[in-house]
Structure 1
């Protein structure tokens, strides 16, 4: 578990979460990626990063010392341990979820003609596309690219 700390950011080699210093402030204010609505001190940002690393450590699940440290880190942030766990879990679930499907597979510039005909509108000077009853592909492409987690 290593947290890389610079004057402007904190990152981890075990978690995608991070902390960054706010640039438009006259005082030193930090924000955690998983707790963006709070203005934090440098020590609190570090506590949040330590909390996240412990949460991601499978060996800490049954370790009473690690659980006590997590409670202490959450206390430094002014939130309950369960709230911190839920916030990080929601971010993890959002990262792992497949991308949302677009409302319409038709590019906006083609409009309804694309959807109705099942093909792109004819180029200028060419014969109009014939209407087909075949359904459109989910993304308007012949083959969807594979979705890779991570």
Structure 2
């Protein structure tokens, strides 16, 4: 699953029913939880809803579906943003470039290789 708003994504192993979020790699999730995680990311990434109580409730619901607090999601997403900013600020050497699979390989609870799903949901802003 990908987003047209944020760079985060959800992936699953080929033929598997378990999903993993790029920003919450230690969790093994159902498809519904992965979608909730993507929705949560998009809600938290929208500066227009900072003072929107309904968006805050929606974020809390999505976080609860993942078994985390909204504050945990904010921290994890901020760390991912900082990592991306650091990579852009540091010139990459050929031996430093890694694929998503190589970076996330040690973060899965199962050793099966993961690849992005061939089909995925495209976001509807705020998943209305």
TM-score range, shorter chain: 0.5 to 0.7
Superposed, 1:43-62 pairs within 5 Å as 43-62=32-51
Q: Which whole-Å CA distance do the structure 1 matches of 2:38 and 2:63 have between them?
A: 11
Residue 25 of structure 2 corresponds to residue 36 of structure 1: yes
Residue 90 of structure 2 corresponds to residue 89 of structure 1: no
Report the TM-score when normalising by structure 2.
0.67
Superposed, 1:112-123 pairs within 5 Å as none
Q: CA deviation at 1:89?
A: 0.4
1:46-86 Cα deviation digits (max 9, x unpaired): 00000000111111100000000000000000011101110
How many residues matched? 91
- The answer for unaligned runs of 5 or more in structure 2 is 94-128
Pairing partner for 1:67 from 47, 56, 61:
56
Q: CA deviation at 1:101?
A: 8.8
Report the TM-score when normalising by structure 1.
0.57
Q: Which whole-Å CA distance do the structure 2 matches of 1:79 and 1:29 have between them?
A: 18
* Rg (Cα) greater in structure: 1
- The answer for unaligned runs of 5 or more in structure 1 is 1-9, 103-150
